[in-house]
Chains A and B, each alone.
Chain A
Amino acid sequence: MSLGISLSQLISSKIEPIKSGIEELDECLEDGFQSRSIYEIYGPPGIGKTRLGLQVMSNFVNDKSRADEKVLWIETYNTLPVTENNFSDLLESEQVYRVEITKITELIVFFNKIALNLEEYSFKLIIIDGFSVIINDHLNNILKRSETDITNEYNLHELKCKRLILLLTVITKYTHSSGSTVLLLDNCMNTAFNTEFNLTTVEDNLEVVDDGSNFFVKNNGANSNIVYDTTGIKRNVQVLKSELVSNVGIGTRDSRWEVFIKARIGMFWDWENKFTLDNKRFKADFSKCRVMIVSNLQEMASNKDKENNDTSFSSSFSNRYSQNKGQYLVKIFPNDDGYFTSTKPITNGQRKKRLISPTKSNPRKRHTPFIDGQSTQVGESTQNSTQELQQSENSMILSIDTTANQSVSNPQDDEVVYDSEG
């Protein structure tokens, strides 16, 4: 496949990556969102995908060294929520452009057009809010229009892969010729279909669960996703996946188009602190936080065949899913201005904790136990760094264990902290 990139362009000087403003995320991404790359960000409604996109855009616009560069926001159905109360700095900028695109052909025509007129349409950062909606609608329209039963006779998954390869090729052409970064903000969908396993036919593996929400689940031959309730009724564990993966064209060969995506960032909710169910001392600390799961898709694909029996990142992540190399976990917190950061803003309760037991508790470890020594891990593909990666990952797990042990072996410590809050 020709991407139409000249060699001189490939070896041209490195363009400074675009910062997300979240320190630890930038570290995972090798200093920020790289130029000539496509990233996917997905998560449930309300998690802050759009907000993250706006934050990246706002950082870009406020970066003095980028004063003559332009950014483009492509919206689908949801409007760009920039108002006088919300990211108003973007309203004053002369660098931000927006456009509404809702059809797949429109998107292809658009990217072809801007790739041909780089003088006029040179955007260093393009954010497509609701990219997955375009694909989803397209597939559904094809399904609706087709006179034959397409799920059987014409594999919708094949079609989806073909379409995504085409679209992402068109976008990649643009990013390479202009040296720009594209962020795809995608919805997520629930499915019980496990894409890790091969299936015979799609229809045989489906089952409808009527929980009033009109969701379908997929019934998997491999038993990893099936559980039974006490009455013996089979229930499927539903997992949230990017809408690009779990739409009507769900299947097992997504890796064919995923090669175009540099990294995928899933955003989810989780508890900030681990709950210990020590019966006497259980004291609920209901502070929630957002978690980003950064997956370096290339690195993961190349590590797929290798054995990995590492333990998981956190209490709730990947109990049933083997943890892949090239995946990182970052906890993020909104600061007072609503910007996401990886350091928890110090609240009153926090300060108290430190005052009460400054020597006993280790607040840094308590809140971000996963990040230690991570910055050097990502993306380096030499033999040495793989070893390094192995090592540092081990040490990372070690540090988690020690914190876990601490909280168990020093219940007094915890007690002091909680009391101070009450």
Chain B
Amino acid sequence: MDLYDELPKSELLDTLEFSLLLEAAIQYNVSLVEFISLNARDLARLLRRSINEVAKFQRLLILELEAQFNKKSQPVLLPKSQAPELFSTGDLGLDEALGGGIYTQCITEIYGESSTGKSQLAMLLSLCVQLPKSLGGLEGKSVYITTEGDLPTERLEGIINSNETFSSNGVSQEKIFTVSCNDLINQEHILDVQLPVLLDNSKGSIKAIIIDSISHHLRVELQSTSYKESQENRHYIDILAEKLLLLAKKYNVAVIVTNQISDKPLVKLSEPMQQDLLDYEYQLGWIVGWKDSSILYRQRYNEPTLSSQNEITETAILSDDEDYQLVEKEMKKLIKAEEKKFWSHADGQNNKEDTKDSKANVKDRPKIEISSNSGHKRKVDSRIPNLGLSWSNHISTRLLLKKMYKASPMVRRGEMHLYKGNDTSAFWQVKRAMKVVFSTFAPDSEVSYMITSRGIESVQ
């Protein structure tokens, strides 16, 4: 019987008189929907209880339903209801990509590989929300729930101190409620009991809840080996997201969660297969924010093609990696030049020295020190956020933080030949970007950013 699920505050739950009736409802799989849609006679037959008892229960139930739902499910005029509010990230570029900033009443997910700056962004947001409204904040406190170790207070202090706006406007760690949970049981208790109590007691002063990260404990605990288990896991994630959303709406707070990644490797099928528009795998890349070439490449990977065409397809599709091509090209130039230099040098020597030596030199092909493998070719994307579609269905904004390698300015200027080492990493430069994979409030876009002492700043 789902009376508790539908009407948690029902008095009928504790009424001794109906305990046998409720037990019968469980026994015969009669749910609340039947109680409100069938007449007493049919119900009595289903439950094998007396019609009088059923009718009395039904009458009380309907009264209770009306009492509880009437006020709550009364349509209100949109302008009179509480619209989502937003707070600025403190950075123009990021705000613009996000459609103004981070919104309350919904879930914003930040996902990405480790060391891409997920926690940095989360920490920054726990501070930004404290700013006065005139500066784009919400004058609110924040709750920071960590699942991997404690909140790095030194780093937070550093961000506050190096940012004039924060330090002069009363932004402080004292306005962050922080708690760390070591396991899933602990996390459940915090989300189910402690957080609602805290929000209730704070009387609207809390404006942001940050969970870093949502999937850390879940990933380990929610391993499914049977259909039933996987179904339960799906439901668990639904319930988790719904609980957060109800809190977000009730107290008008922003929920920001970081999410970890798992791998979705490319699988070669023994028989060719063409993907269909409605296939999960065909759509997946767009849901998780892979780059275009990866999406197309993965869609085409198992397609029936001539074997000779396959490789051409690969290079053709993945040819968007311009920087890799650039480095490669410069590298080839360099190797050629080195070779040329060597031979002209050898030729010069030829004139002076014995021809035998130079012949030996010819046989010893010159070893160019820089290896031709320049590294950092951007691979086909295979990272997906944890918790799957059940989770994705509940979030309003998905942000992907990624770290890429771009050709360094030296290569771009075509000055690779000036480089005198043999470390190929000098040809590359780390570039970070935040991708708005999807958002209810903004079109998808991508912004480059840097991690600085002030937190996260966008770059042009």
Contact = CB atoms under 8 A, between A and B. Distances in A.
Interface in A105-164: 105-106, 108-110, 113, 121, 133, 136-138, 140-148, 150-151, 154, 163
Interface of A: 44-47, 50-51, 72-73, 77-86, 90-94, 96-106, 108-110, 113, 121, 133, 136-138, 140-148, 150-151, 154, 163, 166, 187-190, 203, 206-208, 210-216, 227-230, 232, 235, 237-241, 243, 248, 266, 268-271, 275, 277, 279, 282-284, 286, 288, 291, 293, 314, 316-321, 334, 338
B277 A316 contact: yes
A136 B394 CA distance: 13
Contact of A208 (B227, B245, B270): B227
Given A83-B441, A133-B242, 17 more contacts: A77-B249, A79-B106, A81-B106, A84-B83, A94-B77, A98-B76, A105-B7, A137-B238, A143-B231, A146-B29, A190-B389, A214-B233, A237-B273, A239-B276, A268-B278, A283-B316, A316-B277
Nearest to A120: B75
A91 B316 contact: no
B316 A99 contact: no
Contacts, number: 315
Given A86-B99, A277-B316, A321-B276, A91 B395 contact: no
Contacts of B39: none
Given A46-B287, A91-B79, A101 B73 contact: yes
A238 B78 contact: no
B23 to A, nearest CB: 10
Interface string B363-401: 000000000000000000000101111101111101000
A284 B320 contact: yes
B276 A93 contact: no
Contact of B274 (A143, A214, A275, A319): A319
A189 B106 contact: no
B153 interface: no
A279 B312 contact: yes
B283 A50 contact: no
B222 interface: yes
Nearest to B78: A96
Nearest to A73: B78
- Which 6 pairs from chain A and chain B are nearest by CB? A46-B438, A212-B262, A213-B388, A286-B292, A206-B227, A216-B230
Interface of B: 1-2, 5-7, 26-27, 29, 31-33, 36-37, 65-66, 69-70, 72-79, 81, 83-86, 99-100, 103, 105-106, 219, 222-231, 233-235, 237-239, 241-242, 245-246, 248-249, 262-264, 267-271, 273-283, 286-287, 292-293, 296, 299-300, 305, 309, 312-313, 316-317, 319-320, 384, 386-390, 392-396, 398, 437-441, 443-444
12 contacts: A80-B78, A94-B79, A99-B73, A100-B73, A105-B33, A113-B70, A121-B75, A137-B239, A214-B233, A214-B388, A215-B388, A228-B269
A277 B65 contact: no
A189 B36 CA distance: 30
Contacts of B287: 44-46
Contacts of A151: 227-228
B440 A51 contact: yes
Contacts of A321: 276, 278
A165 to B, nearest CB: 11
B78 A277 contact: no
A238 B278 CA distance: 9
B245 A213 contact: no
B388 A83 contact: no
B269 A213 contact: no
B276 A91 contact: no
Contact of A145 (B2, B394, B441): B2
B26 A320 contact: no
Pick the most buried of A50, A187, A213: most chain B CB atoms within 10 A of its CB. A213
A141 B5 contact: yes
A163 B30 CA distance: 12
B231 A86 contact: no
A267 B270 CA distance: 31
Contact of B78 (A91, A188, A270): A91
A110 B69 CA distance: 8
B278 to A, nearest CB: 5
B37 A108 contact: yes
B389 A163 contact: no
Nearest to B27: A147
Contacts of A229: 267-270
Given A77-B241, A147-B27, A98 B75 contact: yes
B433 to A, nearest CB: 17
A238 B280 contact: yes
Contacts of A109: 36, 65-66, 69, 73
A81 B440 contact: yes
Contact of B296 (A79, A211, A271): A271
Contacts of B309: 277, 279
A98 B80 CA distance: 10
Contacts of B32: 104-105
B386 A213 contact: yes
A84 B100 CA distance: 10
A212 B29 contact: no
A315 to B, nearest CB: 9
B278 A239 contact: yes
A208 B441 contact: no
Pick the most buried of B7, B276, B278, B437: most chain A CB atoms within 10 A of its CB. B278
